[in-house]
């Protein structure tokens, strides 16, 4: 019964996240259009700087989603403890999860667990290089 409640809460939560993502994407597009059309000039310098920072921040976080027209077949997660949101969204949207799973995480939550130290930069770099090579050699 406890798991059913958590799944229902997760579904409600992911719906909220999806609507938030749509709002963020729309806001990002609006900011880009304002900047390109020269409408930024109507704002004070302080407002322009804030809008520019918002635009850069959204670019870093959502640039990869900008041209995404369908759900990906799989996602790679470097740390399932820190990136719970990515794992939950993958589960909700039936997207396979490939993840580095450290000893502090549950490997049964992931479709393709990779047992490794997710805190060691050389370990993560090595795994990412192998995944990138496999992806590019499809």
Domain-wise residue ranges, the chain: 2-65, 74-136
pLDDT per residue as tens digits for the range 59-109: 776 777 667 778 888 888 888 998 888 888 888 888 888 899 999 999 999
Model pLDDT, residue 2: 41
- The whole-angstrom separation of Cα 110 and Cα 91 is 9
Q: What pLDDT sits at residue 3?
A: 43
Q: What is the CATH number of domain 74-136?
A: 3.40.50.10490
Angle, in degrees to the nearest 10, between helices 2-37 and 84-92: 100
Q: How many CB atoms lie within 10 A of CB 120?
A: 12
**Predicted local distance difference test score (pLDDT) of residue 19:** 56
7-28 pLDDT, tens digit each: 455 445 445 545 555 555 566 6
**pLDDT at position 108, please?**
92
Q: Which residues contact 78 (CB under 8 A, 6 or more apart)?
A: 99, 100, 118, 124, 128
What is the rounded average pLDDT of the residues 36-55?
85
Instruction: Give pLDDT, residue 46.
Output: 92
């Amino acid at each position: 019964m406890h798991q059913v409640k958590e799944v229902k809460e997760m579904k409600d939560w992911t719906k909220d996240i999806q609507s938030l993502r749509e709002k963020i994407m729309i806001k990002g597009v609006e900011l880009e259009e304002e900047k390109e059309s020269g409408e930024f000039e109507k704002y004070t310098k302080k407002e322009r700087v804030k809008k520019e920072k918002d635009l850069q921040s959204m670019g870093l976080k959502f640039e990869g989603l900008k041209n995404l027209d369908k759900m990906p077949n799989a996602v790679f997660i470097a740390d399932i403890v820190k990136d719970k949101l990515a794992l939950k969204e993958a589960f909700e949207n039936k997207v396979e999860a490939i993840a580095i799973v450290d000893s502090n995480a549950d490997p049964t939550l992931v479709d393709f667990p990779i047992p490794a130290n997710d805190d060691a930069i050389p370990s993560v770099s090595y795994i990412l290089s192998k995944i990138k090579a496999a992806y590019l050699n499809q």
